[in-house]
Amino acid sequence: MSSIWKDGLWHNNPGIVQLLGLCPLLAITNSAVNAIGLALATLFVLTMSNLLVSIARRALQPEIRIPAYVLIIAALVTAVELVFHAYTPTLHARLGIFLPLIVTNCAIVARAEAFASRQPPQRALADGLAHGIGFGWVLIVIGITRELIGTGRVFAGLNQLIPGATQHGIELFDGGLLMALLPPGAFFALAGLLAIRNLLESRETSEQPVRDS
């Protein structure tokens, strides 16, 4: 069981190892709140689709497997979009097209096919949570980084998720580098994260013990 969690959160992370779902990952991470919103929505869809696919796995003969995934995932995404529209209308407006586009996040169909379709519901549920959280933390780290560099503040608009929370965010310095908010900023932030991950990974696998003074 613990390997499921290690895989989802780190070793086989959808965002920084499998590099799946990069479209929303790059597009929506221009602020921490957007990233949190999309992370929550993706987590829910991934977990529920894993669970449903696993429950139905014995009925899923190969010919109808993919159409069945499409149906389940599309229905879940539509439901999530409606819930966001009803309960966090401002965030719904900001996430815009990327909320319905969760349906095309290949991380979700990949987990359904590679894991949930051959594992019992309990394990599939854990796998969905692990990969959902794994994808989510990458989104949120990139979101915080880009918003901070781009505007000098973080968590602007947090009141859209938590009523009563800060609206203008926490200002850490004045101004900001606009590029961090534009598409290149997304690539730089992701590249930075991948570099850190590779560095940690290479230390872990190197035979010599790391002797940092």
Whole-number Å distance between alpha carbons of 85 and 96: 10
3-state secondary structure of 170: strand
* Binding residues with other proteins: total (CB under 8 A): 30
Residue 83 touching other proteins (CB under 8 A): yes
Q: Which is nearer to other proteins, 94 or 131 (CB)?
A: 94
Residue 58 touching other proteins (CB under 8 A): no
Q: How far is the CB of 104 from other proteins (least distance, A)?
A: 17
Whole-number Å distance between alpha carbons of 162 and 62: 43
Tell me the window of 87-95, 127-135, 190-198, 204-212 that interacts with other proteins (CB under 8 A).
87-95
Whole-number Å distance between alpha carbons of 28 and 145: 13
Residue 177 touching other proteins (CB under 8 A): no
Whole-number Å distance between alpha carbons of 91 and 213: 46
Let me know: does 102 contact 77? Beta carbons within 8 Å: yes
**Of the candidates 27, 161, 177, 193, which one interacts with other proteins according to CB under 8 A?**
27
Residue 75 touching other proteins (CB under 8 A): yes
List of residues 6+ apart from 140 with CB closer than 8 A: 32, 35, 36, 39
Tell me the window of 25-33, 103-111, 117-125, 204-212 that interacts with other proteins (CB under 8 A).
25-33
Residue 22 touching other proteins (CB under 8 A): no
